[in-house]
Structure 1
Amino acid sequence: MNALIYPTYFPNIAHFWTVVNADTITLEVSDNYQKQSYRNRTEIYGANGKLALTVPVSYTQKNRQLYKDVKIANDEQWQLLHLKSLQSAYSMSPFFEYYIDDLMPLFEAHFKYILDFNLKCFEVLLHSLQLDILPTKTTIFEKEPLNKTDYRSLVKRNSDVKHIIPYTQVFTEKHGFIANLSILDLVFNEGPNTALYLKKLNLSID
């Protein structure tokens, strides 16, 4: 299977399920940017339940922009805020200290475009999880792609993903299991077992 997905901000579990179970990965980088998606948003498990972390972008609906041309609004201290949120949410998780050093450059370096930042997040995650995957990128946008399994719908925040197997989360006893959060939730809680967990899943995606 050649899976076609969007590079998103710390992709959710369903996105990474496609990554570890595909033969090849193609990243969609040739589309127009759309708001209200996971392109600039990830969801983690905080002390009060699900917490959304959003990268601010400079974008207006009036003038269509390509995904690759959308700039991050770096006048806001979003990187510091997101890092503090991750530390608050996961400092007590089993593998936080093991992985946080790999992630720190993402919160310290300056990124001009959201697509470039998301691609770097994806690269760092592949390295941290020791996944030997070399994704390719689209050069044109195809509404109905040839020879690819289209998982681009996973970029939508209302995508319906079923059959995610529960695992232990930091605040499970307070709020129960929350499915399909950022891959970081799985990584910090399951560590080196992350890829094996993803391979065991048999997800249903609508």
Structure 2
Amino acid sequence: MIPLLSSFYFGSVEHYRLLARHDRVIIDIGEHYERQSYRTRTSIVGPNGTNDLIVQIERRSGEKMPMHSVGLSYAESWPQQHLHAIRSAYGQTPWFIHYIDEIEAVLLKKYDRLVDLNMATIALGLKWLGLTSMPFVSTHYVEGDEYRITEAGCGPVDPSAPLDERKPLLDIRSTLHPKKPLPPALSPIRPYPQVFADRHAFVPRMSVIDLVCNCGPDAKRIIRSHGA
């Protein structure tokens, strides 16, 4: 099956477990934007517990927006706030120094669209974890339960397409969500070291930033050994 995901900002450990296990993953940027989702947020564990880092977007009142048309707002200094929170959470970990420059470069660059920022953060996560396959991006809303991926791109299945080119979808766009239980298709990850575990115990479903800053190169093994 091919996992079908929404666009995501940095992404949770669960996102990368899927990317590690599946050679092909589709990110749908033709779907409508949804508030309070991974599309604009990632979660880290700081000294005071879980901290949601939320991207600010240009809002259009009363209008549904396809993800690929959602613009970013820099009226507030959210990139600097995110960097400050990341430094406060992980500045004392031994691996922090290996990742912060790349995080800073991505966050301080200005992007017009949310999806462009998200893809830049996903590219970082893939690099850190040694994953070489970039997700396929669909600019049109994905409907149906099959998809076709070729060297030329990806798209809805043509009924005349050979059966070996048709791939069933694992659609978790609406279920892999920070406000919802983990989808049945994903098993909970086993605890890994977290810098504030003595205060808050292990906090699951955190950002890939949490994983790499706490575990360094061992994150590559963890992400594969905890495959969905």
Same fold, TM-score > 0.5, yes or no: yes
CA distance in 2, matches of 1:145, 1:139: 17
Q: TM-score, normalised by structure 2?
A: 0.83
Q: Give the CA deviation at 1:22.
A: 0.8
Residue in structure 2 matched with residue 80 of structure 1 by the alignment = 80
Pair 1:184-2:209 in alignment: yes
**TM-aligned CA deviation for residue 123 of structure 1:** 1.2
Rounded to whole Å, the distance in 2 between the matches of 1:113 and 1:140 is 16
Equivalences for 1:88-107 in 2 at 5 Å?
A: 88-107=88-107
Q: Is residue 2:226 matched to residue 1:201?
A: yes
Q: Which runs of 5+ in 1 are unaligned?
A: none
User: What is the CA-CA distance between 1:132 and the residue it aligns to?
Assistant: 1.1
The offset of 1:130, in angstroms, is: 2.5
Cα distance, 1:143 vs. partner?
3.6
Q: What is the TM-score with the length of structure 1 in the denominator?
A: 0.91
* CA distance in 1 between partners of 2:213 and 2:127 (Å): 15
Task: State the partner residue of 1:116.
Answer: 116
Measured in 2, the distance between the counterparts of 1:192 and 1:125 equals: 12
**CA deviation map 1:136-176 (0-9, x unaligned):** 11142124331222232354222312522011101000111
Taking the aligned partners of 1:128 and 1:13, their CA distance within structure 2 comes to: 12
Shift of 1:86: 0.2
Aligned-partner Cα distance in 2 for 1:55–1:155: 18
| Partner of residue 140, structure 2 | 140
Provide the aligned C-alpha RMSD in A.
1.6
CA contact (8 A) 1:8 1:155 kept: no
Is the partner of 1:127 in helix, strand or coil? helix
Unaligned runs of 5+ in 2: 147-166
Q: Which has the higher helix share?
A: 1
Q: Which moved more, 1:148-157 or 1:158-167?
A: 148-157
Quick one: distance in 2 between partners of 1:94 and 1:145?
A: 44
- Report the Cα distance in structure 2 between the residues aligned to 1:28 and 1:142, rounded to whole angstroms: 7
8 A contact 1:95–1:191 mirrored in 2: yes
- The change in CA–CA distance for 1:133 and 1:180 in structure 2 (over 3 A counts) is same
Q: Distance in 2 between matches of 1:136 and 1:31?
A: 15
Identity of aligned residues (%): 28
Deviates more, 1:94-103 or 1:77-86: 94-103
Q: Of residues 158, 167, 170 in structure 1, which corresponds to 2:179?
A: 158
Q: Distance in 1 between matches of 2:139 and 2:67?
A: 13
Aligned positions, number = 203
Larger Rg: 2
Query: What letter is aligned with 1:131?
Result: L
Runs (4+) of structure 1 exceeding 6 A deviation are none
Deviations 1:43-64 (Å, cap 9, x if unpaired)?
1001000011101112245111
CA distance in 2, matches of 1:72, 1:47: 29
Give the whole-Å Cα distance in 2 for the aligned partners of 1:35 and 1:106. Answer: 22
Confirm or deny that 1:32 pairs with 2:47.
no
Letter in 1 for 2:88: S
Q: Is the 8 A contact 2:45 2:206 kept in 1?
A: yes
Q: Is the 8 A contact 1:15 1:154 kept in 2?
A: no
Change beyond 3 A, Cα 1:70–1:8: same
> Partner amino acid for 1:191?
G
